[in-house]
Amino acid sequence: MSSPPRPRILCTGGLGYIGSHTVVQLIEEGYDVLIVDNFSNAPPIVEDRIRAITNATEEQLCLDVRDKHNTLELFKKQRVDAVIHYAALKAVGESVQQPLQYYENNDVYTADPTWKISILRYFNPVGAHPSGLIGESPEQPNNLLPVIQHVAIGRRDRLQVYGDDWDTPDGVRDYLHVDDLASGHLAALKKLLKASDGQLLIHNLGTGRGYSVLELKELFEKACGKKIPHEVVGRRPGDLACVVADPSLAEATLCWKATRTIESVHACVLCSF
């Protein structure tokens, strides 16, 4: 008697920062993975690096999920057991400047009580795969750690700190290692695949601990042995003073918990640049 086929997971935006780390973990846990990406935020070389890490060859298609015709054709031709949707935009400043583009790209599903859906709220993914082959390396970074990296290697003169008139020291965020975030996706996926009926799961994925911008800068300086100059500038529209996750529901119902420290984040970042 032949064994059932491996669950096939479609990852939209699967070559991006978070998507690529989740794809690696999916492959390592024995899933069959189909990657769809339009390369707007990921260089094609990421696919080769995923193969180098996993020694696996996964099917990859260049497709924009907003292309309704070709997306429907994909589902007609391919067996898909679950979808993890990463093909979304998330820069705070850009979302305020281009709200319609963000709505078009991000809000792509229609509510249906028979669907099995998990919505995961991220809290500042950081770090890189321990191999150093994949990580966050945008040419024009919006996130804090890549900007600090660019200052460290001379691509930028200094780090800009957006505002010093917060109720917190200088803006506090919950920084979650990208591999912990990837494992959170697998935990949610496993719960949905086991479900017998439709359901909607909503969870926070974070550490529950916040760090200010200057605290993170100082930890990076300690890890790399180099000073990172900075200047205080005005606040950005849309920024909040303090954003820290309450991950207790994910810990209780997904049996998931962030395990990597901020020090390990810096070690992986240094390995990747």
The sign of the torsion formed by the CA atoms of 169, 213, 19, 90 equals positive
Paired residues of 61 in beta bridges: 36
pTM for this predicted structure: 0.85
**Angle (deg, nearest 10), helices 17-28 and 45-54:** 30
pLDDT digits (tens, 9 = 90+) for 38-86: 888 888 899 999 999 999 877 777 888 888 899 999 999 999 999 999 8
Candidate from 93-107, 154-168, 205-219, 232-246 with smallest mean pLDDT: 93-107
165 alpha-carbon distance from chain centroid = 29
pLDDT given at position 93: 53
Using only C-alpha atoms, the chain has a radius of gyration, in whole angstroms, of 19
Q: Which residue has 């919006």 as its token pair?
A: 142
Distance of CA 231 to the CA centre of its chain: 28
pLDDT of 266 higher than 50: yes
**Cα–Cα distance, 179 to 22 (Å, whole number):** 7
3-state secondary structure of 180: helix
Q: Which domains does the chain have, with CATH numbers?
A: 1-107 (3.40.50.720), 109-273 (3.90.25.10)
